[in-house]
Structure 1
């Protein structure tokens, strides 16, 4: 039989163990709150001065930063509503980073593939048609890609002591400063062009006989890798409309047509072929010509922005009578030409 003298010490011993367990549990919780964080906050700043994308219209589209863990984990995609600055929280690890203007879905004529890998992320022309030309299949870009710029960074490490820099505990442990002056917690990007502007200048004898015209230029790169800036080995043909007729001084017949469009790249090691298709002012005659006398050059403005110039001279356009009238002459009010502009081209 158990008496009261035996029960009281046993109950007291049980209370003592319960209090000790509770104390250890509370200490463990407080210690975890004090030392355990999952992420570090990183500030991203972007200088777009070398990208050719400083306009307010482009800034309204924002930008995208992609953090690729080098261990092969799932990339983290950050949509930057602020074109020039954003913050992101990253888990511990080492990352390669690609930043580009807009987002994956904000382009009309550009699409992306290989999104899961830093080295495989590739921008390519979305609007491509395959046409049969002289019993061969010709892939033609029918929509010029928009302007694209990108910046990269490799081997950025988020270490354990960087975690939790965005807060401080109730026990007085100060948070790390995440200011732009602290390189451990800030990344600065200077995007470079991944697309290049092309200015095509076509010299025409008999310009007064042309109502509208398009050109096709071969040797255009189909795509570009954002991490390296290298274009793919696949060449394609670019179609573009000609506009802005400018007659030579003291000549009502001869002059130039121009076009401005974007490409990911042009193979400068090859001779290029230009195809011209022009509708004449009589409303029914179509003039076509293929030319190998195409000069392709590039010019750097000294700030890393390269413009590509394409120059060619066509055969003489035949004389035709304008639709609805007699004689010949260029109708400056014909729709499709746009406003007349002066275009400067490099002269050697």
Structure 2
């Protein structure tokens, strides 16, 4: 009996040794190299994100992708030797989502539809994006080496900030204002480095300031100043690279729960609406004002019926669809 137990222990020990040798052979067949990534945020942003995600995509489908979350200052990764395409981006955003991450060619940032606002028509809009910082490298070679490869990276902001102020008559008849911008980039191709528009308006909040309406919003950074069709989006619409015709949409929900809309062509002046940051005293720079021709001022008509005595506002009013339009065109200089 003792001999049988001894033989069994010897056999088990032999199997463990053989298994260990087999595993060591596998590790030797698939070596990894150390990659030390250092991130420089100087001149990029003063408000650092929580951290970044780095993805190494093997070129030509050889091998597997290496995916890791690092601190905002970087960190070390273990990457098998080979040729890679690389993307890096911050992941602590509220509105931005990622899709198509299975490949360098398809990974894309986007924002979801504005569901749950309780305002009819906004479900066809998408949220303004949060701050997104991106780096993409089309090809990076990792050699087999005992030495750690040091990489110094600087991510780029790919979200632009906009603001505007426009004079409107009849704001005393308005309870709620819904704003949207159509024609700017509502998604961003992280691997290839360009923004795209899928013809979904970007929603933003609008505030009344005396006899003016003021708003701030964001959009993904375009690649060029010309609109170029690129691909079919998931919704089935054709996405266009960069900026085409840009239209500012303001929906005024009046005290009787009816809606009046103004559409302003801002294609020629979109660059002037970009946020210029802060003044020397630290206060935000006032938003630029959109100057309309004298005959094309925006005026909200007085409601024909008095306000709802029950105190009903514009949040759940009968504003299905786009409703009547007041198109206000700006002269292109």
Deviates more, 1:148-157 or 1:258-267: 258-267
Which of residues 287, 298, 311 in structure 2 aligns to 1:315? 298
Which residue of structure 2 lines up, in the alignment, with residue 286 of structure 1? Answer: 258
Is the counterpart of residue 110 in structure 1 residue 96 in structure 2? Answer: yes
Q: What's the CA shift for 1:211?
A: 3.1
Deviates more, 1:89-98 or 1:110-119: 110-119
Which residue of structure 1 lines up, in the alignment, with residue 205 of structure 2? Answer: 241
Q: Take 1:139 and 1:264, find their aligned partners in 2: how far apart are those partners?
A: 20
Q: What's the CA shift for 1:309?
A: 7.1
Which of residues 37, 43, 49 in structure 2 aligns to 1:44? 37
Q: Is the 8 A contact 1:123 1:226 kept in 2?
A: yes
Give per-residue Cα distances to partners, 1:97-138, cap 9 Å, x unaligned. 111011xxx544322222122222111222267xxxxxxx99
Which residue of structure 2 lines up, in the alignment, with residue 345 of structure 1? Answer: none
TM value normalised by structure 1? 0.59
- Which protein shows a greater Rg? 1
Unaligned stretches of 5+ in structure 2?
1-20, 116-120, 227-243, 278-286, 316-332
TM value normalised by structure 2? 0.62
Distance 1:71 1:293, change over 3 A: closer
Q: Take 1:193 and 1:77, find their aligned partners in 2: how far apart are those partners?
A: 21
Q: Across the two proteins, how many residue pairs are aligned to each other?
A: 247
Unaligned stretches of 5+ in structure 1?
1-28, 130-136, 166-175, 179-184, 248-253, 303-307, 326-333, 337-347
Distance 1:310 1:145, change over 3 A: farther
Q: Is the 8 A contact 1:127 1:143 kept in 2?
A: yes
Which residue of structure 2 lines up, in the alignment, with residue 98 of structure 1? Answer: 87
Q: What's the CA shift for 1:139?
A: 7.9
Q: Is the 8 A contact 2:113 2:123 kept in 1?
A: no
Give SS of 1:239's match. Answer: strand
Give SS of 1:49's match. Answer: coil
Give SS of 1:292's match. Answer: strand
Which residue of structure 2 lines up, in the alignment, with residue 195 of structure 1? Answer: 159
Q: Is the 8 A contact 2:186 2:202 kept in 1?
A: no
Q: Take 2:252 and 2:275, find their aligned partners in 1: how far apart are those partners?
A: 32
Distance 1:300 1:69, change over 3 A: farther
Which residue of structure 2 lines up, in the alignment, with residue 147 of structure 1? Answer: 131
Distance 1:272 1:45, change over 3 A: same
